[in-house]
Amino acid sequence: MAKIHIVDDDADIRRLLSYHFIEEGHEVSVGRDGEEILQTIANDEPDLLVLDLMMPKLDGMTVLEKMDESGMRGATRIVVLSANGAEIDRALGLGADHYMTKPFDPQDLIAIVKELLALSRVELDLRRDHERVKARLMSRLDSLYGS
Amino acid sequence: MARILVVDDSPEMRHLLTSILVEEGHKVVVAPDGQKALDMVVADPPDIMVLDIMMPAMDGYMVLKELRATGIRDTTKILILTAKTSEHDWVRGYKLGADQYLTKPFDIQELTAAVETLLVSTREQLKARREEELNKAQLLSRLESLFEV
C-alpha cells in the first residue's frame, strides 16, 4: 500500500483516479489546485504524486519548479498529466518521473504507478533519462515528418 | 483532514463513499470485507471507520466485537452505514460500540456532517451520546410495551 496524492482541477479525473487507486489498496487524498500541494507534501510526504499540468491558480509546471528549488521532492514519485505532449522534456527535467498524455486509460496509469513504486531512486533516475531521450527523439521525428 | 477506512462489500457503494470522502479532503482507504477491515485497523488504525453491516463471511457486528477485544477501539471512531433500519439494529450497533449510526439510502450532507461531528467530538462526548441514544431506545421500547394491545 502506498500513499497517493492526486492533484487535478477536473473533478471527474479526481473521482476516476481516486476510485481506481483506492481499490488497488492505496491510501488516496486529492487536491484541486497546485497551491495546496506544497503544504500537503510538507505535512505528510506521499509516496506518489499525480499532478495535472494545467490548473487555474498554480499550474503543475510551477509546482515542479518549486519542489525542485526547495528540495522538497524527497522520495515522492511524480506522474504528470497533460493534454499535450509538448512539455514532456521540461517536466522530466524538473523531476517528474513519468508523463501521461490525456486522455489515457486508467489501467495504464495504474500499471505505471505500480512500476514506479517498485523502483529505487537510482533506477527511477535512469528510467527518467531514458524517457527524456525517447521524448527528444520523438519530437525530432515529429519535426522531420510533421507538416 | 482525517484518515478514513471505508468497509463495504459493494463496489458501487465503495465508489460513492470514496468519491465523497476524498473530495472532502480526507485520506481514504477501503476494505471489501470484515476480515480485511480488521487487519487494516490493527496494522494502522484510521481516525474513522465507515462500516457496513450486511457483508458475507464477517459482518459489521462481528467486526465491532473483534475490535472491542483488541482494544484498538480507542483510537478509531466508528460510523455504521447500513440498510438495516430497525430500532433493534441501531441499538445493537451502539451497544457494540459504534459512535454513529446512519442508514442507506443516505444524504451526502448527512454523511459529511456526521464525519465532521465525529472528528471534533471527544471520546467522552461520544460515549455520553451513545448512552443517551441507548436510554432513548429503552424509553421507546417501554412506551411501546405500555401501549401494546
Counting every residue written for chain B, the total comes to 149
Best residue in B4, B26, B30 for a mutation probing chain A (most A CBs within 10 Å) = B30
Contacts across the A-B interface (CB distance below 8 Å)? 45
Residues from chain B that touch A19, judged by Cβ atoms under 8 A, are: 14-15, 18-19
Question: What is the percent of chain B with per-residue pLDDT over 70, rounded to a whole number?
Answer: 98
- What is the DSSP track for B29-56? EEESSHHHHHHHHHHS--SEEEE-S--S
Give residue B73's pLDDT: 63
Distance (Å) from the C-alpha of residue A137 to the closest C-alpha of chain B?
39
pLDDT of residue B11: 94
Query: pLDDT (tens digit, 0 to 9) for every residue of chain A, 147 residues total?
Result: 899 999 999 999 999 999 999 999 999 999 998 888 888 887 888 999 999 998 888 889 999 999 888 877 778 999 999 988 788 889 999 999 999 998 999 999 999 999 999 999 899 999 999 999 988 888 888 888 875
Q: Is residue B27 within 8 angstroms of chain A, CB to CB? A: yes
Sort A119 into a burial class: Cβ within 10 Å, 0-12 / 13-18 / 19+: middle
The per-residue pLDDT for range B60-111, each reduced to its tens digit, is: 999 999 988 877 667 899 999 988 878 788 788 888 889 999 988 899 999 9
At B103, the amino acid letter reads: T
**Alpha carbon distance, N-terminus to C-terminus of chain B:** 51
Q: Which residues of A touch B (CB under 8 A)?
A: 1, 3, 11, 14-15, 18-19, 22-23, 25-30
